[in-house]
């Protein structure tokens, strides 16, 4: 399939570059092609030149229901007629809080926010306040937002700031250790008595979608209890995606605090910090968490509608079946084209790259992947009408059906032929 021109996208991008650095409003988008989309519908995107794309990026995860869910958007539009923020409680907040807590099933309290980045910060602050300790343990290759105390890259076992201009010493408060390695974790906790929290992406969706080995999350839980450390699950990607109850449900391990975002509000900007009453109620005892736009009417309307849809007609079986067939189809095409296309992860959030087929279990294991070859493939895929992230993650939504499956595999086949 050949795509039409992207003349209008090009013109719009040129103008955008005069308005905003790089023509994009998030640095992550600098890695992608210069494209201007006009609209999304279900699992498809349409650009301003009339080209259509099957979408497995889903806005970096939020569009679990597919794009432009009419139920969610109608609820937001209807409720927004009341206004947006009042600097006080409004009539939708309790309903949003109830459905949220009932859906995740393990926490006593919730605080809504706007982004995963900020809710992660609130979690870390609460852990410090509760323990009187300063430091955190986290795992190489995870992402917990773009602020100075969490943005980091690890190459060859050396962790460094992820940005120019970042205060490097803000990372001094963190012990970075490999994922899926209980021995190193035990040694780290025994060697230091200043650890307030362990923060973990229960599935390392930001590093090859690496899953926890059997018992690893349970061992983290056990060690946190033993050492009086707060366990924080960063469920910004996994929440409502890997199961209705997120990683807590899927892996059967309960944290003290967890952060949610992305999939919880049908594409609208909402995050949440949830946890035990004991920890969360510190927010009335001197620990500050604030935000002008927190729990706005549109945000609460989006949460109520999205979680209502996910609870009434859980799409997880369908999503899992689609993702499994897709992973298998990608593997078969790799073999047919004799290229080392590999994948791992869960069917609803998996990672594709070039490299050896064996599963990797920590960030160091991803060093052998040929990321630049894969990024090149995503550019070819884009030319063939497939929208995926250059960094390798594929997200599946409730709106992906047989049609998309056939289409994406045909287009991948064509892209691999073009690459050869």
Ligand X SMILES: Cc1ncc(COP(=O)(O)O)c(C=O)c1O
Q: How many residues bind ligand X (CB under 6 A)?
A: 15
Contact 111, 280 (CB under 8 A): yes
Is 145 near ligand X (CB under 6 A)? yes
Identify the three-state secondary structure at position 166.
coil
Q: Is 175 a catalytic residue?
A: no
What are φ and ψ of residue 134, in 5° steps?
-110, -25
**Shortest Å, Cβ 6 to ligand X:** 27
**Shortest Å, Cβ 339 to ligand X:** 28
Question: E strands within 15-148?
Answer: 37-41, 44-47, 52-55, 109-113, 135-139
Closest of 340, 333, 373 to residue 357, by C-alpha: 340
- Residue choice 6, 67, 133, 144 for contact with ligand X (CB under 6 A): 144
Q: Which of residues 35-74 bind ligand X (CB under 6 A)?
A: 60
Q: Which residue has its beta carbon closest to ligand X?
A: 116
Q: Other C-beta atoms within 10 Å of 194: how many? A: 12
Is 117 near ligand X (CB under 6 A)? yes
Is 234 near ligand X (CB under 6 A)? yes
The DSSP bridge partners found for residue 46 are 39, 52
Binding mask 249-288 for ligand X (x = CB under 6 A): ------------x---------x-----------------
Residue 364 structure tokens: 């160091």
**Shortest Å, Cβ 409 to ligand X:** 27
Q: Which residue lies nearer to ligand X by CB, 79 or 235?
A: 235
- Residue choice 66, 97, 113, 116 for contact with ligand X (CB under 6 A): 116
The DSSP bridge partners found for residue 137 are 175, 198
From 143, 179, 251, 374, active-site residue: 143
Is 120 near ligand X (CB under 6 A)? yes
Residue 65 structure tokens: 């229901």
Is 390 near ligand X (CB under 6 A)? no
From 53, 262, 374, 395, active-site residue: 262
Is 143 near ligand X (CB under 6 A)? yes
Q: Which residue lies nearer to ligand X by CB, 6 or 176?
A: 176
Is 201 near ligand X (CB under 6 A)? yes
**Interacting span for ligand X (CB under 6 A) from 13-21, 112-120, 188-196, 408-416:** 112-120
Three-state secondary structure string covering 313-359: CCCHHHHHHHHHHHHHHHHHHHHHCCCCEEEEEECCEEEEEECCCCC
Q: What's the half-sphere exposure (Cβ side, CA atoms, 13 Å) at 178? A: 17
From 234, 260, 362, 374, active-site residue: 234
Give the chain's length. 420
Q: Is 234 a catalytic residue?
A: yes
Cα–Cα dist 356/368, whole Å: 8
What are φ and ψ of residue 130, in 5° steps?
-70, -35
Residues 6+ apart with CB under 8 A from 325: 405
Is 363 near ligand X (CB under 6 A)? no
Is 237 near ligand X (CB under 6 A)? yes
**Shortest Å, Cβ 291 to ligand X:** 13
Cα–Cα dist 44/24, whole Å: 21
- Residue choice 236, 265, 280, 414 for contact with ligand X (CB under 6 A): 236
Residues binding ligand X (CB under 6 A): 60, 115-117, 120, 143-145, 201, 206, 234, 236-237, 261, 271
Active-site positions read: 143, 234, 262
């Amino acid at each position: 399939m050949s795509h039409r021109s992207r003349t209008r996208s090009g013109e719009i991008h040129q103008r955008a570059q005069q308005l905003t650095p790089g023509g994009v409003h998030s640095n992550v988008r600098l890695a992608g092609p210069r494209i201007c989309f006009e609209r999304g519908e279900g699992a498809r995107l349409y650009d301003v030149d009339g080209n259509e794309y099957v979408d497995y990026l889903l806005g970096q995860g939020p569009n679990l229901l597919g794009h432009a869910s009419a139920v969610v958007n109608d609820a937001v539009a209807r409720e927004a007629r009341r206004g947006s923020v009042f600097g006080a409680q409004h009539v939708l907040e309790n309903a949003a809080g109830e459905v949220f807590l009932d859906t995740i099933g393990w926490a006593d309290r919730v605080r809504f926010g706007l982004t995963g980045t900020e809710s992660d910060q609130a979690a870390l602050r609460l852990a410090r306040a509760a323990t009187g300790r300063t430091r955190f343990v986290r795992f190489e290759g995870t992402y917990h937002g773009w602020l100075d105390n969490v943005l980091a890259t690890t190459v060859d076992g050396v962790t460094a700031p992820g940005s120019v201009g970042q205060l490097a010493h803000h990372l001094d408060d963190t012990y970075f250790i490999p994922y899926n390695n209980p021995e190193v974790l035990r040694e780290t906790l025994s060697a230091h008595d200043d650890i307030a929290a362990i923060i973990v992406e229960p599935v390392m969706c930001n590093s090859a979608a690496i899953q926890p080995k059997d018992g690893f999350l349970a061992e983290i839980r056990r060690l946190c209890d033993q050492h009086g450390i707060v366990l924080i699950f960063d469920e910004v990607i996994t929440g409502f995606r890997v199961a209705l109850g997120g990683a807590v449900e899927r892996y059967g391990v309960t944290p003290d605090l967890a952060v949610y975002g992305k999939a919880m509000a049908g594409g609208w900007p909402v995050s949440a910090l949830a946890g035990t009453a004991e920890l969360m109620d510190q927010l009335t005892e001197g620990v500050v968490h604030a935000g002008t736009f927190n729990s706005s009417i549109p945000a609460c309307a989006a949460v109520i509608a999205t979680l209502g849809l996910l609870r009434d007609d859980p799409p997880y079986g369908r999503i899992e079946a689609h993702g499994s067939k897709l992973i298998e189809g990608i593997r078969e095409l790799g073999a047919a084209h004799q290229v080392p296309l590999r994948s791992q992860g869960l069917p609803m959030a998996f990672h594709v790259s070039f490299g050896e087929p064996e599963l990797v279990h920590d960030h160091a294991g991803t060093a052998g992947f040929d990321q630049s070859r894969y990024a090149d493939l995503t550019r070819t895929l884009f030319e063939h009408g497939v929208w995926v992230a250059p960094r390798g993650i594929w997200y599946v939504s409730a709106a992906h059906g047989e049609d998309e499956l056939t289409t994406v595999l045909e287009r991948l086949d064509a892209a691999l032929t073009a690459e050869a």
